[in-house]
Structure 1
Amino acid sequence: MKKAIHEKLKRLNADTANIYASLEEIPVEKLSDTAYGWSIIQVLSHLNSAEKASLKYMQKKMQAGEGMKNSGATNALRMWLCNGVLKSSLKWKAPSYVSKPASYSFEEIKSKWAETRASIEAFVDDFPEEWLNKLVYKHPMGGRQNLDRAVDSFVYHQIHHVHQINRIKKQLGV
């Protein structure tokens, strides 16, 4: 099962590399332009912050050990529905608890996000096999989930924001 989770992390990292490649030729001032809401850099910062906060939650949740509940079909269904919405190009306002993301340079956010991803990979490496069905993660819309579906949510969250990045690029004329 961990092998499948690592494959999802590889896909996530490859998708992130594709995002970076699509932004390489865009002038810095355009990447930071907030004329149409969040800038592209702020979207990347949001993705990093969400993954970092999720990791922190999972690390804390691990302290419950065997006290964590097991995942079931209802949890899987909720996440499947949530991921379906996230991979669509539907647009909605960020929930009130999502603060305005920090602005960094393109290189800074790439570095910070790489650190977060390395921490997530280390977490997966150290995660006990016998707990893979435990509800270690809490998704804002999808509810409590196991580690495999947590990584799925990172994939689909990023897909959702790629739609946003593409809209911003189009508005900026790049």
Structure 2
Amino acid sequence: MIPKREEQQLHRLNADLDQLFQQLDGYSDEQLNRQPSPETWSPLMVARHLMLAEAYSLQYIRKKLSFTDELPPAGIRSRLRSLVLEFYFGSPFKWKAPKAIGDSALLREAPYELGTIKSEWLEQRAQLRELLESFPAGRYREEVYKHPFVGRLSPTGLLRFFQGHFNRHSKQIRQRLA
């Protein structure tokens, strides 16, 4: 069972994703694949980046849990790492995306189809729910995920990362469609 706070976070993430898809449905794939400049991601490239970040995060957690049940407890350090991410997502600062979800990966796979991204992302969110539901209660007080820049986070920190990352990049998507 997912604890109430994490259930609310997951619900908000899914509601925000549904709202983004409703906005994107009003555009053609051609419009959504248009890059404002050669160095700037198209709206669908940004969406794909978000989706891949979540996919690789889930993949990491599954792999980690496949060979160990012993994880460090989430404490004040984990919470501080989560706060660093929240600060970053609210700031104008930029980090270069990890290679697997950055420029070369996104350009190599482009152009994208909204329908494909939508179905894959919704399936992925269903898998996230299944994973969170499979956790015993104590797992929510452990550092199950390692963010590439700030380090280990609890499941709550993971959901905060997903939300902050989504908010930052969905704003970029809307700006590129304006």
Regarding TM over 0.5, the answer is yes
Q: Are residue 48 (structure 1) and residue 51 (structure 2) matched?
A: yes
Aligned match of 2:176: 168
Aligned match of 1:22: 23
Aligned match of 1:39: 42
C-alpha contact 1:32 1:40 (8 A) present in aligned 2: yes
C-alpha contact 1:39 1:168 (8 A) present in aligned 2: yes
CA distance in 1: counterparts of 2:121 and 2:25, whole angstroms: 16
How far is 1:84 from its partner? 2.1
Deviation per residue, 1:25-81 (Å, 9 max, x gap): 223211011243211111111111110100011111223544211111122112112
SS in 2 for 1:67: coil
CA distance in 2: counterparts of 1:78 and 1:55, whole angstroms: 19
Aligned match of 1:86: 89
Aligned match of 1:110: 118
C-alpha contact 1:31 1:39 (8 A) present in aligned 2: yes
C-alpha contact 1:75 1:142 (8 A) present in aligned 2: no
Deviation above 6 Å: which 4+ runs of structure 1? none
CA distance in 1: counterparts of 2:58 and 2:135, whole angstroms: 12
Tell me the TM-score normalized by structure 1.
0.88
C-alpha contact 2:81 2:153 (8 A) present in aligned 1: no
Identical aligned residues as a percent: 28
SS in 1 for 2:141: coil
Deviation per residue, 1:3-43 (Å, 9 max, x gap): 22121111001111111122222232110112432111111
CA distance in 1: counterparts of 2:137 and 2:67, whole angstroms: 16
SS in 2 for 1:54: helix
C-alpha contact 1:2 1:124 (8 A) present in aligned 2: no
AA at the equivalent of 2:32: L
How far is 1:151 from its partner? 1.0
SS in 1 for 2:146: strand
Gaps in structure 1 of 5+ consecutive residues:
none
Tell me the TM-score normalized by structure 2.
0.86
C-alpha contact 1:83 1:153 (8 A) present in aligned 2: yes
SS in 1 for 2:152: strand
The count of corresponding residues between Structure 1 and Structure 2 is 169
CA distance in 1: counterparts of 2:138 and 2:78, whole angstroms: 18
Q: Are residue 140 (structure 1) and residue 139 (structure 2) matched?
A: no
